[in-house]
C-alpha cells in the first residue's frame, strides 16, 4: 500500500473512531408507510439499510407502518413491494418472509401497542392529558408565548379529582410521555455527538384520545420488540430522536426493550433550486425512472452516491462492490443533490456492461410498450424480430443511456416501411444538396447485388461515389442517407443498419425521402 493510501485509510479510521462501534450482530430495519408512490429518498433509505446488513453479515427487517387509515393504501403497499423486488433489495425477516417478531404490518399489532401503553401509564412514564389544542394555544397566549409554542405540561400532575372532572365532561385523555428535565445526547453514526437541551422537547402524545397509537409509540415499540439495534433513517426525523431515546429508557426499565439502538441520520436529498426533493417532484418518483428505462444496477449505483462514495475518484460500481466497502459511518452529513443527468450517465455505463442477451431481454418490454415489436418478452417475439434485434444489439447498446431509448434506435431496423417520415430535427439538418446526394446514392446502390449488400462494401461504395468522386463532404454525403434510413438525426451506425434492413427496403427508403423533399 502506498503512503497516500495509508494516510487515507488512517484518516478514515480516525473518523470512524469518533463515532460509535457497531454491534456485533447488526439488525437494521426498513419501515415505510404506504402513503404514495415509492420515491428515491425512500429507496435510498432501503438501500443503505440493506447495504449495512449485507456488509456486516447482519439482518434487514422489513415491516410496514400502516396505522394511518386516512392516508395508507393497499395500492401503495403493493408498489413498495414491487419496487424492492424490481431493485433486488431483499430482506431477512418481515413482509412475505416471516420471522420470530411478526406480524410485520402495524395495522395487525394494535393489541401490542395497547398493552405497552398501559404499562407505560401504570409505571408513571406516561400520563393522561385532557388538554385540547385550543386550550393549549390559549394558555400559551395568556403566558405571553406564541400560540403555536406547543404543549406546556399542564396535565403532568393532575389530581384524581381533576381527572374525574374532565371525564365527567365527557373528555377522553390522550397519553403523553413524561420527558425528563435533563439534556438528551447521543452519538449519531453519521453526524457524531448531538445534544438536545433540557426543556427543548415537550411531553409528546403517544396515544390519541380515541385510543389510536401514534408513530411516536408504534415505531420505537416495534424496533424494541424486533430487537433492532441500528436505526438508519432520514435527517427529517432527527428532531424526534430524543423522544425515542427517552422512550427506550422506559421500555428497557419495563423489560420490553433489550437496548437503545444506535442512530444514523442520512442527509437530505435535494432537488432543483436548493430545495428538499419533494414526493411531488417528477424526478422523485421511482417508477418514472423505471419507465424511462433506468436499469436497477444504474439507479441503485446512483442512489448510493447520494451521501456515500466507494472511492474519491470512482462513481461506477456494482452492488456487490458496494457491500464489500459500505460502512454507514462513512456516509456524509451534508445534503446530497439529485442530478438526473449524472444518474442517466451512470445508468448508461451499466447498460454497456450488460451481456448482449440480457440487454435485449430487458429492452423488449420497452419496445413492446412503444409499439415496435409484437410481444413483451423475448421468447414471444417473431424469428425476424429476434434476428434483427440480435444484429442490432452491438450497434445500439453502446449508444443508449436508458432502455426507453432503444425503440427509437431499432424501430427503423424492425420496420419494413419503404418511407420513414423524418423527425423535425432530422429534416432540418438536410441541406439543399440532399436531393442530388440521394439521386446519386440510389444510382450507385442499384448496381450492388444482394450478395454484396454488406456493411464494408456499402461503406466503400458510397464513400467512393459520394465523397471521392462526388466531391461532397462526409456530413453532406451521408446525412441524407442516414435520415432516409432511420428518420432520425441520431441512429445506429449507417452501413450496418443498411445491411440489417436489406437491399430492397434500403433503396425504397432512399427513393422515398427523395420524393418527399
Q: Which residues are annotated as a binding site?
A: 279
In 3D space, the residue among 131, 49, 147, 41 whose CA is nearest the CA of residue 93 turns out to be 49
* All residues at 6 or more sequence positions from 316 whose CB lies less than 8 Å from its CB, including other chains: 301, 346, 349, 350
Q: Omega into 37 within 30° of 0, i.e. cis? A: no
Q: What cell does 128 get?
A: 393522561
Cα torsion angle, 352, 357, 360, 363, sign: negative
Long-range contacts of 384-389 (CB under 8 A, 24+ apart): 385/414, 388/413, 388/414, 388/500, 389/360, 389/363, 389/364, 389/414
In 3D space, the residue among 12, 93, 89 whose CA is nearest the CA of residue 322 turns out to be 89
In 3D space, the residue among 37, 35, 25 whose CA is nearest the CA of residue 66 turns out to be 35
In 3D space, the residue among 220, 241, 247 whose CA is nearest the CA of residue 106 turns out to be 220
Q: What cell does 183 get?
A: 439534556
CA atoms within 13 A on the CB side of 44: 27
Contact 62, 30 (CB under 8 A): yes
Measuring CA to CA, how many Å separate 56 from each of 25, 50, 197, 234, 329? Answer: 8, 10, 34, 21, 13
Contact 37, 286 (CB under 8 A): yes
> 264 forms bridges with which residues in the sheet?
232
In 3D space, the residue among 477, 500, 481 whose CA is nearest the CA of residue 489 turns out to be 481
Q: For residue 428, indicate whether it is catalytic.
A: no
Measuring CA to CA, how many Å separate 376 from each of 381, 385, 393, 406? Answer: 8, 12, 17, 14
Measured CA to CA, the distance from residue 173 to residue 410 in angstroms comes to: 66
Q: What cell does 278 get?
A: 419533494
Measured CA to CA, the distance from residue 438 to residue 511 in angstroms comes to: 7
One of 119, 279, 325, 332 is an active-site residue; which one?
279
State how far Cα 304 lies from the chain centre. Answer: 9
Measured CA to CA, the distance from residue 480 to residue 513 in angstroms comes to: 8
Between the two ends of the chain, the Cα-to-Cα distance in Å is 65
Measured CA to CA, the distance from residue 431 to residue 380 in angstroms comes to: 42
Q: What cell does 15 get?
A: 473518523
Residues flagged as binding site for ATP:
279
Stated as kind and residue range, the H or E segment containing 93 is strand 93-94
Q: Which residue numbers are catalytic? A: 279
Amino acid at each position: 500500500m502506498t503512503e497516500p493510501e495509508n494516510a487515507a485509510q488512517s484518516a478514515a479510521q480516525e473518523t470512524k473512531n469518533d463515532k460509535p462501534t457497531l454491534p456485533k450482530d447488526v439488525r437494521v430495519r426498513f419501515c415505510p408507510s404506504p402513503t404514495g408512490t415509492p420515491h428515491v429518498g425512500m429507496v435510498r433509505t432501503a438501500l443503505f439499510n440493506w447495504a449495512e446488513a449485507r456488509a456486516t453479515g447482519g439482518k434487514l427487517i422489513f415491516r410496514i407502518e400502516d396505522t394511518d387509515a386516512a392516508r395508507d393504501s393497499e395500492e401503495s403497499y403493493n408498489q413498495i413491494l414491487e419496487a424492492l423486488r424490481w431493485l433486488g433489495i431483499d430482506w431477512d425477516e418481515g413482509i412475505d418472509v416471516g420471522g420470530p417478531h411478526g406480524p410485520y404490518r402495524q395495522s395487525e399489532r394494535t393489541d401490542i401497542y395497547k398493552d405497552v401503553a398501559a404499562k407505560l401509564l401504570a409505571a408513571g412514564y406516561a400520563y393522561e392529558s385532557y388538554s385540547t389544542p385550543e386550550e393549549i394555544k390559549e394558555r400559551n397566549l395568556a403566558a405571553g408565548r406564541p400560540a403555536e409554542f406547543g404543549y406546556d405540561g399542564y396535565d403532568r400532575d393532575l389530581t384524581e379529582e381533576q381527572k374525574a372532572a374532565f371525564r365527567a365532561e365527557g373528555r377522553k385523555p390522550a397519553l403523553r410521555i413524561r420527558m425528563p428535565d435533563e439534556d438528551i445526547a447521543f452519538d449519531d453514526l453519521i453526524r457524531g455527538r448531538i445534544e438536545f437541551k433540557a426543556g427543548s422537547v415537550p411531553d409528546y402524545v403517544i396515544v390519541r384520545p380515541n385510543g389510536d397509537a401514534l408513530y411516536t409509540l408504534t415505531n420505537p415499540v416495534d424496533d424494541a420488540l424486533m430487537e433492532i439495534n441500528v436505526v438508519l433513517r432520514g435527517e427529517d426525523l432527527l428532531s424526534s430522536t430524543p423522544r425515542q431515546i427517552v422512550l427506550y429508557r422506559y421500555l428497557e426499565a419495563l423489560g420490553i426493550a433489550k437496548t437503545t439502538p444506535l442512530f444514523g441520520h442520512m442527509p437530505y436529498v435535494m432537488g432543483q433550486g436548493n430545495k428538499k426533493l419533494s414526493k411531488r417532484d417528477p424526478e422523485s418518483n421511482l417508477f418514472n425512472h423505471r419507465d424511462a428505462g433506468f436499469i436497477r444496477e444504474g439507479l441503485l449505483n446512483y442512489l448510493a452516491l447520494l451521501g456515500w462514495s466507494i472511492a474519491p475518484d470512482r462513481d461506477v460500481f456494482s452492488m456487490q462492490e458496494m457491500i464489500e466497502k459500505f460502512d454507514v459511518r462513512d456516509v456524509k452529513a451534508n445534503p446530497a443533490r439529485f442530478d438526473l443527468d449524472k444518474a442517466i450517465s451512470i445508468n448508461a455505463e451499466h447498460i454497456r456492461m450488460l451481456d448482449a442477451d440480457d440487454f435485449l431481454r430487458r429492452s423488449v418490454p420497452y419496445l413492446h410498450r412503444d409499439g415496435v415489436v409484437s410481444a413483451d418478452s423475448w421468447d414471444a417475439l417473431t424469428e425476424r424480430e429476434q434476428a434483427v434485434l440480435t444484429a442490432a444489439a452491438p450497434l445500439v447498446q453502446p449508444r443508449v443511456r436508458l432502455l426507453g431509448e432503444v425503440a427509437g434506435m431499432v424501430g427503423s431496423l424492425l420496420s419494413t416501411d419503404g418511407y420513414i417520415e423524418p423527425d423535425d430535427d432530422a429534416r432540418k439538418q438536410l441541406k439543399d444538396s440532399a436531393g442530388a446526394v440521394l439521386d446519386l446514392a440510389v444510382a450507385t446502390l442499384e448496381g450492388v447485388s444482394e450478395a454484396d449488400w454488406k456493411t464494408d462494401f456499402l461503406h466503400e461504395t458510397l464513400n467512393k461515389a459520394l465523397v471521392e468522386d462526388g466531391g461532397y463532404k462526409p456530413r453532406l454525403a451521408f446525412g441524407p442517407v442516414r435520415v432516409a434510413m432511420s428518420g432520425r438525426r441520431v441512429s445506429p451506425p449507417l452501413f450496418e443498419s443498411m445491411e440489417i434492413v436489406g437491399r430492397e427496403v434500403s433503396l425504397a427508403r432512399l427513393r422515398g425521402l427523395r420524393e418527399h423533399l
